Amino acid sequence: MRTDITRFLLAAAVLLLLGALAHAGGGGDTTFNTVVTQLTNWATGGLGRVISLAAVIVGGIASVVRSNPMPILSGIAFAMILNFTPGIVTGLLTGTL
């Protein structure tokens, strides 16, 4: 019984400390903003479109050669992930949709 209370209090203290640390780490740091902006522009801009089209074309050729739809579906999934991931990550990290 006593160890259960001790474990509960320890877990509560850890959660309180982690909450304070998470609050202290929000915003303010702009060290990597230029890198993030550049990578986002690449992924959603012309380079991202070229890579997406290449993945779909290579997947289409592999699908025809192997008579299997999985390669082109993988290329389409890769293109979608490349296109939508920067927006999803930005939304998660900024807390907006």
Q: How far apart are CA 53 and CA 48, in angstroms?
A: 9
Q: Which two tokens stand for residue 91?
A: 């939304």
What is the spatial distance between Cα 7 and Cα 87, in angstroms, rounded to a whole number? 40
HSE at residue 81, side-chain half, CA atoms within 13 A, is 8
Q: Quote the pLDDT of residue 95.
A: 72
12-62 confidence digits (pLDDT tens): 888 877 766 655 555 667 788 899 889 889 988 899 999 999 999 999 999
